[in-house]
Chain A
Amino acid sequence: MNVREKKERQSGEPCMIWDATLESLAWKSRGWEQVCRYQDLEPADSSMEEENETRKINNSFLRDHNYATEADIISTVEFNSTGELLATGDKGGRVVVFQREQESKTQPHRRGEYNVYSTFQSHEPEFDYLKSLEIEEKINKIKWLPQQNAAYFLLSTNDKTVKLWKISERDKRPEGYNLKDEDGRFRDPSTITTLRVPVLQPMDLMVEATARRVFSNAHTYHINSISVNSDLQTFISTDDLRVNLWNLEITDRSFNIVDIKPANMEELTEVITSAEFHPQQCHTFAYTSSKGCIRLCDMRQAALCDKHCKYFEEPEDPSTRSFFSEIISSISDVKFSHNGRYLMTRDYLTVKVWDLQMENKPLETYQVHDYLRGKLCSLYENDCIFDKFECVWNGSDSVIMTGSYNNFFRMFDRNTKRDVTLEASRENSKPRAILKPRKVCVGGKRRKDEISVDSLDFSKKILHTTWHPHENIIAVAATNNLYIFQDKVN
């Protein structure tokens, strides 16, 4: 038998043949298996005790015993553009970066595992004295810059401030200084009798993170998203009412390109909920609103892009109108497809794929958890109706994924129109265990293995997920746990 078949038998998977002409996922013959799980990520490495500019772990008095678990709640996950690195941000303002283990011939099954690469404190809690407001350190979004040299760069943001972090490796250090000892103490100049040139000696690999830029004081309201432009020179940061354009090199100035603040705040009817640059066109970006509409803007038209060039909205279905129609139609996330022809939006109950050429209705609508439509009043009372779910494309734009409750997450295949519900849970989490599709029973007789709507755990929600840019590897954040799954085909 050939090598491939032998590998599959060893891992316990059913033997299968990959059909190269099959363009879509066939759920019955493939399985998502768990690669690894991280919990309560602790800063383990000594890279924290480095240069003065590197931030140390915050042990301030603001973190008390009860905060300990809340600070570990993961608030954002993002693969970088090659998929080699995976960054997570948490409520405590920390960023943990994972790196994919290199392929090794001696241990082929270990490829695909991600290990902690760097941990640093990105944001600290702040206090705005003018407004008597505390500024949360929770990381709202992380966006990677494409790699241009040996170092990695990412943007991370909390409610008010965006920071550019440089993550670099150091595996050599200079030794043999003239004025300093090996341990750093200054030598008495009178004892120096010879002159030598310091030599670079190898040392244990150290990964250090330094804040290279801090973009602050540009947002009155809370930042909900950031997006790097395809020109790799600018980025936008978006709050409830404004979108600001920054140059990555300039921190003391930004341009306001969208401003929907009304002259009279009493007339406020909608806020901006997210914004993203087009993946290829550096002059185009889209922003979504709490009213469920998307506006596409062209920065070449005017300095202030208050006039959209495309407006996407689906007329409301009057039969589904309820008290909560406004809340559930608010868009929580927007993502352009990788090919730039579509965009995807997530509102409380659905995911919609829009064709950029068609403004009056979405191309596709997927029901994420329609069984919650009858529970909206309870979800309103326990605040779950305000949860902001994110959505993500796979690398080829053929599958979309989003989270739900009970640690469920859903994938929709756009070509076959098939969908699957999977669960990120500790009970099922043995490494290499294949995920079993889950099903929610909506009434009537509950079959074995199905879960009834009433037994769903609404405190376990998957809001943040990310998909590897090229491969079928996904990272799913379930409260304070990070799950990484991959779909083994070959």
Chain B
Amino acid sequence: MEVSAEAKRIMVVALGKLYSSRTQRGGLRLHRSLLLTLVMKSARDIYHAAQTTTAEGMEEDREDQQPSEVEMTTETSGTPELQGPASLPLMATDADVQGRTQNQENTCLSGPPHHTRKRRGKATAEPDFLPCKKAKLEYGTAQQLIVTSVLVDYANCSSELGPSPSPIPLQTVIAAC
């Protein structure tokens, strides 16, 4: 489905931007980070909704994603200024995202199962989507699936990454921001 592919792409771009804003001169911009988090949250909601409604059609979904992504790039190919420079840093930041989430995972694995609460981002406070501690085990796998599929797609695209990363809970990824 095009909507879920776009939602996925928007989420990954938002993550990339959040990560790169940490190294920006002047420090983290609250307004920009808030807007990115809101976009990521709505993209994630839509992606999750799309995934659950088309659960049985997931096979066709994966096959469709390749042509739909090609579709998106050809549609915007008429704007070389926008697409060209944007796609290159996109790939670079994804590689960054992968590397950093892996580091985060490595440091967190040794820690307690409850990650440091004070590092949690704004998006994780929404109760309707994210589970509370009790229901964590139940929803954990669904979330892992979302992030895995998002990251695996881009892992397949960029050859230098090697094997796909193990599933990372969404809270960790956001907490890493």
The chain A residue sitting closest to B85, CB to CB, is: A382
Q: Which residues of A contact B90 (CB under 8 A)?
A: 381
Contact yes or no, B10 A377, CB < 8 A = yes
Q: Which of A133, A265, A273, A457 contacts B31 (CB 8 A)?
A: A273
Contact yes or no, B26 A134, CB < 8 A = yes
Contact yes or no, A290 B34, CB < 8 A = yes
Q: Which residues of A contact B76 (CB under 8 A)?
A: 377-378
Q: Which of A134, A270, A327, A458 contacts B25 (CB 8 A)?
A: A134
In the complex, whether A159 has a CB less than 8 A from a CB of chain B is: yes
In the complex, whether A183 has a CB less than 8 A from a CB of chain B is: no
Band of interface residues on B: 20 to 34
> Taking the nearest CB of chain B, how far is it from the CB of A86, in angstroms?
26
Q: Which residues of B contact A375 (CB under 8 A)?
A: 79, 82
In the complex, whether B32 has a CB less than 8 A from a CB of chain A is: yes
Q: Which residues of A contact B13 (CB under 8 A)?
A: 380-381
User: What secondary structure prevails in chain B residues at the interface with A?
Assistant: helix
In the complex, whether B132 has a CB less than 8 A from a CB of chain A is: no
| A458→B87 CA distance, assembly (Å) | 16
| A138→B10 CA distance, assembly (Å) | 30
In the complex, whether B111 has a CB less than 8 A from a CB of chain A is: no
| A136→B13 CA distance, assembly (Å) | 25
Chain A 241-273 interface 0/1 with B at a Cβ cutoff of 8 Å (1 = within): 100000000000000000000001111111101
Instruction: Knowing A326-B39, A454-B79 are in contact, say whether A271-B34 is a contact too (CB < 8 A).
Output: yes
In the complex, whether A105 has a CB less than 8 A from a CB of chain B is: no
Binds A, one of B116-124, B139-147, B156-164: B116-124
The chain B residue sitting closest to A388, CB to CB, is: B31
Contact yes or no, A458 B82, CB < 8 A = yes
> Taking the nearest CB of chain B, how far is it from the CB of A275, in angstroms?
14
Instruction: Knowing A266-B120, A380-B10, A381-B90 are in contact, say whether A133-B39 is a contact too (CB < 8 A).
Output: no
* CB-contacts of B1-51 with A (<8 A): 6-7, 10, 13, 17, 25-27, 29-32, 34-35, 38-39, 42-43, 46
* CB-contacts of A121-170 with B (<8 A): 131, 133-136, 138, 159
Contact yes or no, B30 A221, CB < 8 A = yes
> Taking the nearest CB of chain A, how far is it from the CB of B167, in angstroms?
24
In the complex, whether A404 has a CB less than 8 A from a CB of chain B is: no
> Taking the nearest CB of chain A, how far is it from the CB of B123, in angstroms?
9
* Residue tally, chain A, CB below 8 Å to B: 40
| A221→B34 CA distance, assembly (Å) | 13
Contact yes or no, B31 A271, CB < 8 A = yes
In the complex, whether A439 has a CB less than 8 A from a CB of chain B is: no
Contact yes or no, A267 B42, CB < 8 A = no
In the complex, whether B58 has a CB less than 8 A from a CB of chain A is: no
In the complex, whether B125 has a CB less than 8 A from a CB of chain A is: yes
Contact yes or no, B31 A290, CB < 8 A = yes
Chain A 367-393 interface 0/1 with B at a Cβ cutoff of 8 Å (1 = within): 000000001011111110010000000
> Taking the nearest CB of chain A, how far is it from the CB of B84, in angstroms?
10
In the complex, whether A46 has a CB less than 8 A from a CB of chain B is: no
Contact yes or no, B27 A131, CB < 8 A = yes
Q: Which residues of B contact A131 (CB under 8 A)?
A: 27
Contact yes or no, B31 A264, CB < 8 A = no
Q: Which residues of B contact A378 (CB under 8 A)?
A: 76, 79, 82-83, 86
> Taking the nearest CB of chain A, how far is it from the CB of B99, in angstroms?
21
* CB-contacts of A221-242 with B (<8 A): 221-222, 224, 240-241
| A134→B121 CA distance, assembly (Å) | 22
* CB-contacts of A320-357 with B (<8 A): 323-324, 326-327, 330
The chain B residue sitting closest to A268, CB to CB, is: B122
Contact yes or no, B26 A377, CB < 8 A = no
Contact yes or no, B82 A222, CB < 8 A = no
In the complex, whether B78 has a CB less than 8 A from a CB of chain A is: yes
> Taking the nearest CB of chain B, how far is it from the CB of A160, in angstroms?
10
| A301→B116 CA distance, assembly (Å) | 41
Q: Which of A134, A224, A327 contacts B27 (CB 8 A)?
A: A134
| A265→B82 CA distance, assembly (Å) | 34
In the complex, whether A396 has a CB less than 8 A from a CB of chain B is: no
Which 10 A-B pairs give the minimum distances between C-beta atoms? Answer: A266-B125, A133-B27, A136-B26, A381-B86, A378-B82, A240-B30, A326-B38, A382-B86, A454-B78, A454-B79
23 pairs from A and B in contact (CB 8 Å cutoff): A133-B26, A133-B27, A136-B26, A159-B26, A240-B30, A241-B30, A265-B122, A266-B121, A267-B125, A269-B34, A271-B30, A290-B34, A323-B7, A326-B35, A326-B42, A327-B35, A327-B38, A375-B82, A377-B10, A379-B82, A380-B13, A386-B32, A454-B78
Known: A378-B79, A454-B78. 10 other contacts (CB 8 A): A131-B27, A222-B30, A268-B34, A323-B39, A327-B35, A375-B79, A378-B86, A380-B39, A381-B86, A458-B81
